[in-house]
């Protein structure tokens, strides 16, 4: 990734555990990736009971669809910041709880978040 430059990213065909990738048009600065066009995506292969992402919307109410292993996030895996439609709405700068896995599903998973509009800033993944 080239800092302070707007680039159209294409994710690799697969990700190793604890690796992430962007898709779409992003500007990466020192501590954030800022989406520059609609339909941007972040992917992350993880293994943890909870997946959180620190982010903010520079505009209010940016919707983002969440997938797990290529499918819509099931109701029993939704974090507290994911609605019944499987989407998170990004507003203020804060930590968003996106995935909470039941005990029987605490293996390795591919997380994907697709942003319908630009003006979202991503900072850091955290786990629980």
Is the dihedral angle over the CA atoms 12, 29, 26, 86 positive or is it negative? positive
Domain that holds residue 85: 6-127
CA atoms within 13 A on the CB side of 44: 19
Q: Phi and psi for 3 in degrees, rounded to 5?
A: -65, 150
pLDDT of residue 2: 64
Q: At 22, which CATH number?
A: 2.60.120.260
Q: Establish if 94 belongs to a structural domain.
A: yes
Q: What is the pLDDT of residues 88-108, one digit of tens each?
A: 999 999 999 999 999 888 889
Say what the pTM is. 0.93
Eight-state DSSP code of residue 74:
P
Indicate the number of domains in the chain.
Answer: 1
128/58 Cα distance (integer angstroms): 26
Q: What is the pLDDT of residues 31-86, one digit of tens each?
A: 999 999 999 999 999 999 999 999 999 888 999 999 999 999 999 999 999 999 99
Q: How confident is the model at residue 3 (pLDDT cuts 50, 70, 90)?
A: low
Neighbours of 9 (CB within 10 A): 16
Question: Alpha-carbon distance 88 to 30, whole Å?
Answer: 25
Residue 1 lies in a domain: no
Angle among Cα 102, 64, 87 to the nearest 5 degrees reads 45
């Amino acid at each position: 990734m080239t800092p302070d430059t707007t680039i159209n990213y294409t994710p690799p065909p697969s990700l190793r555990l604890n690796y992430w990738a962007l898709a779409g048009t992003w500007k990466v600065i020192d501590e954030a990736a800022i989406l520059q066009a609609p339909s941007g995506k972040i992917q992350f292969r993880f293994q943890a009971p909870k997946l959180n992402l620190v982010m903010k919307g520079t505009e209010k109410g940016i919707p983002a669809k969440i997938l797990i292993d290529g499918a819509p996030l099931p109701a029993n895996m939704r974090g507290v910041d994911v609605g019944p439609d499987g989407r998170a709405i990004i507003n203020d700068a804060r930590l968003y709880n996106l995935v909470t896995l039941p005990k029987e599903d605490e293996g390795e998973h591919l997380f994907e978040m697709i942003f319908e509009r630009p003006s979202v800033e991503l900072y850091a993944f955290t786990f629980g």
